[in-house]
Structure 1
Amino acid sequence: MSQNQKKLTLFALTWPIFIEVLLHMLMGNADTLMLSQYSDDSVAAVGVANQILSLVIVMFGFIATGTAILIAQNIGANRLQTAGEISVVSLAVNLVFGILLSILLFFTGKPLLLLMDLPSELLDEAYIYLVIVGGFSFVQAVIMTIGATVRSYGFTRDIMYITIGMNILNVAGNYLFIFGPFGFPVLGVEGVAISTAVSRFIGLIVSIMVLVKRTNGELPFRKLFQLPKEHIRNLLKIGIPSAGEQLSYNASQMVITIFIAALGTEALTARVYTQNIMMFIFLFSVAISQGTQILIGHMIGAGKFEEAYKRCMQSLRLAIAISLGTAILFSIFSENLLGIFTSNPEIIETGAFLILLTIILEPGRSFNLVVINSLRAAGDVKFPVYIGILSMWGVSVSLSYLLGIHFGLGLTGIWIAFIADEWLRGILMLFRWRSGVWRSKGFVTAKQGA
């Protein structure tokens, strides 16, 4: 295993992550695109249900994020046995947590959708999707934890291949249940939900096989209840604050979705289509930030602080340049891209202007993705949460209501609020990284000695 660690480079780690994230986005877009041939209302219903599901995924990130950071730091410090113990503990904890949340979603799906002020014509389809996909969300919890573990060991391509397989299965299932070839029943949203759940379950089985192979079957599963309880404490110390920032973001997005729902079904649909396209703009920054997190985690574990500092700054410049160029390119072809999803001229016009605003938004998002992941990898996990909560609610939510609803700017006002939030947080994160406070917060180096 140690030989593999010495060969890690940003490109070697990032390109499989890029493909993996791209395919995750394609899986969501496949649902949207194929459902758009069925009904625009179905697209809006699934979009709102996914707002709730994305919040659940963030909760699974409590453990997965802590897993990635602790394993990376321990591998960097050449403590492979400790890394293995952390892998086992994190899998067990997230499995239990995932089952509890799946049960909760199954029984509270309709009240949650009613809480979001969903238009009545969308309620039934959104509920079906939420109950089926949410009821099996524990599968996603385990997949996320295995993915975090395998990536931290440096095998990012394995997770990419699994994602490719899951996408193929998902698209095939969507086709069967939406268009009904070979006598298959046309189930619409219900069929898309079944396809998503089944493809993830098969992906879970393959993920477990890959985990066993890449750790040489040496993970101490039999000693689960004998492993140090300190691992759980460390996972929670890193995971809860780290996921807290993302949890706050998703919660704020749910509130903003309620604002958009007040603007009508057309506004909800325009938001879903536009954000689906925007995902392809910032996926470069996502991939770069995740690859950078793995490298910096290893560097912190090995006590290479100056290398870690330079790595973050180089990655940040690269992410800003690529996201800005991609946003400009997508803006030029925005009407054609939106035309893939809908023929509604008002939705296309609104979406095209929002993508134009994305040219300003995406460089700010790059700051957040790259620098926050770098701070987490170094063990500095609380500061991004505090700033994130203040900015998301004090700027993003407040301005969204003020500009979008109170002053009647609609989705344009809400996008301006997004821009202000991303840039404020991004600049503050950069100041934090440049201050060097994170150098004393690594879990391995600070608490156990490098």
Structure 2
Amino acid sequence: MNQTDIKKQSLFALTWPIFIEILLHMLMGNADTLMLSQYSDSSVAAVGVSNQVISVIIVMFGFVAAGAGVLVAQNLGAGKQKTAGAIAVTSLSLNLWFSLLLSIALFVFSKQILKIMDLPAELMGEAGVYLNIVGGLIFVQALIMTVAAVLRSYGFTKDTMYVTIGMNVLNIIGNYTVIFGPFGFPVLGVEGVAYSTIISRFLGFTILLFLLLRRSEKTLPFASFFSYNKQDIRDLLNIGIPSAGEQLSYNASQMVITYFIAQLGTMALTTKVYVQNIMMFIFLFALAIGQGTQILIGHLIGAGEIDTAYKHGIKSLQISIVISTFAAIIIYFASDFLLGIFTDNATILEKGAALLLVTIILEPGRAFNLVVISSLRAAGDVRFPVFVGILSMWGVSVTFAWFFGLYLGLGLIGVWIAFITDEWLRGLLMLRRWRSKAWVKENFIKADS
């Protein structure tokens, strides 16, 4: 595979296609929310809670893609093309079988999962339909994530960006068709949106797989799809499981907090969904910078350029904090317009604007985590973020959300106070870890056999 020399690329060159790709992924989710908001506010809440469950499942099979991205980058940086190719194929195979099991579990136990979430009775029907369809076929998303991670690590960040553009166009066309029923097409609501999501993902995966085969120029060892190298598996698990553990802990804690918010009523739940959909457009900057930094640092670590990797991590963090803060301020001043796109409910508009105001404090803290944790992961230091993350997410975020939100009666503002405390505490601890350079000895490059 004729990958570019990543170490010679600027952070901007790596990051802007990733930024566009993440933006479009977010737009796909927001397209569902925006279009459904013209159909029913309760449908928005139902899909929002279902997506909360699906996001946890995505993290569970995301550990293979996370491990593959780091290992492929490190091995390419070390000039080990053969090992990188074998890891790419093995990761695709592992994620296929694992995600199929999770898809079946979601389909079979969807009602039980939603009951655990204490979802209001009026939302159960639509939430169940969406979870059955999108969750039951979620293995397609697992394959998309894996192929995309491999292509990005080889330097083909534009490929995944273009495919995401196509997926978004198809999804929006599909949503419009099933929600508004043009040309006599039946209005299918939440069920139709679910089918639109799945169809666009399936077509996207098909194109990504074609691009991977074309880019590989028949050099990928596809025998690794059925015959696994034990060391590759161990390395994937050693990086992937802790990496996914940190994200899984975050999403699971968010599910518990969503359970708290559900007790405040459908209005609070809907407000949370709208505000967090808007907030995605703030932290996507830090998310894209974090992913671009991870690719760059992975190659530098593989090549043994430790000091350069360290400096890139600090520089990326500084850029991310400035951009995230500026974006949060802009979003707040545009809050009336942005929230008005989704709803004209006065209560939601008022509460949503207040949440976006305190988000200005939240987002710089989140930038620490998104960038520094990505840097640590690229260096192979994956256990420390998980340990600190679990303690903070559950000991601070969940506990404070209950205390301030429910016990003290501050509602959604109390929940956002919990988010701020958690993000800043974890972020500062991650920065201290990066500065200590304890991660220098943690890379996973092995000698060729």
TM-score, normalisation: structure 2: 0.98
Residue 275 (str. 1) matches residue 276 (str. 2): yes
Query: What is the rounded CA distance, in whole Å, between the counterparts of 1:123 and 1:3 in structure 2?
Result: 49
Query: What is the rounded CA distance, in whole Å, between the counterparts of 2:383 and 2:347 in structure 1?
Result: 43
Query: What is the rounded CA distance, in whole Å, between the counterparts of 1:316 and 1:409 in structure 2?
Result: 32
Alignment check: 8 A CA contact 2:7 2:296 kept: no
**Matched AA of 2:290:** S
**Matched AA of 1:120:** A
Residue number in structure 1 paired with 2:378: 377
Query: What is the rounded CA distance, in whole Å, between the counterparts of 1:238 and 1:411 in structure 2?
Result: 35
Residue number in structure 2 paired with 1:206: 207
Residue number in structure 2 paired with 1:401: 402
Query: What is the rounded CA distance, in whole Å, between the counterparts of 1:280 and 1:6 in structure 2?
Result: 28
Alignment check: 8 A CA contact 2:178 2:185 kept: yes
SS in 2 for 1:263: coil
Cα distance, 1:224 vs. partner? 3.4
Alignment check: 8 A CA contact 1:8 1:154 kept: no
**Aligned-residue identity in percent:** 65
Cα distance, 1:226 vs. partner? 3.8
**Matched AA of 1:98:** S
Alignment check: 8 A CA contact 1:2 1:78 kept: no
SS in 1 for 2:439: helix
Query: What is the rounded CA distance, in whole Å, between the counterparts of 1:186 and 1:91 in structure 2?
Result: 37
SS in 1 for 2:409: coil
Query: What is the rounded CA distance, in whole Å, between the counterparts of 1:243 and 1:367 in structure 2?
Result: 18
Residue number in structure 2 paired with 1:181: 182
Query: What is the rounded CA distance, in whole Å, between the counterparts of 1:323 and 1:224 in structure 2?
Result: 40
CA RMSD of aligned residues (A): 1.0
Cα distance, 1:202 vs. partner? 0.4
Identify unmatched segments of 5+ residues in structure 2. Answer: none
Residue number in structure 2 paired with 1:448: 447
Residue number in structure 2 paired with 1:47: 48
Residue number in structure 1 paired with 2:171: 170
Residue number in structure 2 paired with 1:147: 148
Cα distance, 1:223 vs. partner? 4.6
Per-residue CA deviations over 1:372-417 (Å, capped at 9, x if unaligned) read 0000000000000000000000000000000000000000000000
Residue number in structure 2 paired with 1:69: 70
Do the aligned partners of residues 183 and 295 (structure 1) sit closer, same or farther apart at CA in structure 2, a change above 3 Å counting? same
Any runs of at least 4 consecutive aligned residues in structure 1 with deviations exceeding 6 A, and if so which?
Answer: none
SS in 1 for 2:39: coil
Residue number in structure 2 paired with 1:17: 18
Cα distance, 1:218 vs. partner? 1.2
Alignment check: 8 A CA contact 2:114 2:128 kept: yes
Query: What is the rounded CA distance, in whole Å, between the counterparts of 2:271 and 2:444 in structure 1?
Result: 44
Residue number in structure 2 paired with 1:215: 216
Residue number in structure 1 paired with 2:239: 238
SS in 1 for 2:186: coil
**Matched AA of 1:187:** L
Query: What is the rounded CA distance, in whole Å, between the counterparts of 1:98 and 1:223 in structure 2?
Result: 18
Query: What is the rounded CA distance, in whole Å, between the counterparts of 2:303 and 2:22 in structure 1?
Result: 28
Aligned residues: 447
Residue number in structure 2 paired with 1:224: 225
Query: What is the rounded CA distance, in whole Å, between the counterparts of 1:438 and 1:222 in structure 2?
Result: 33
**Matched AA of 1:325:** F
SS in 2 for 1:274: helix
Residue number in structure 1 paired with 2:368: 367
Cα distance, 1:255 vs. partner? 0.2
Cα distance, 1:291 vs. partner? 0.2
Residue number in structure 2 paired with 1:266: 267
Alignment check: 8 A CA contact 2:3 2:156 kept: no
SS in 2 for 1:437: coil
Do the aligned partners of residues 48 and 2 (structure 1) sit closer, same or farther apart at CA in structure 2, a change above 3 Å counting? closer
Residue number in structure 1 paired with 2:117: 116
Do the aligned partners of residues 299 and 416 (structure 1) sit closer, same or farther apart at CA in structure 2, a change above 3 Å counting? same
**Matched AA of 1:71:** V
Cα distance, 1:254 vs. partner? 0.3
Query: What is the rounded CA distance, in whole Å, between the counterparts of 1:97 and 1:67 in structure 2?
Result: 15
**Matched AA of 2:167:** M
**Matched AA of 1:376:** R
Per-residue CA deviations over 1:12-40 (Å, capped at 9, x if unaligned) read 11000000000000000000000000000
Deviates more, 1:265-274 or 1:331-340: 331-340
Residue number in structure 1 paired with 2:323: 322
Per-residue CA deviations over 1:349-377 (Å, capped at 9, x if unaligned) read 00000000010000000000000000000
Cα distance, 1:216 vs. partner? 1.5
Residue number in structure 1 paired with 2:195: 194
SS in 1 for 2:75: helix
Cα distance, 1:8 vs. partner? 2.4
Cα distance, 1:135 vs. partner? 0.8
Residue number in structure 2 paired with 1:333: 334
Cα distance, 1:199 vs. partner? 0.4
Residue number in structure 1 paired with 2:29: 28
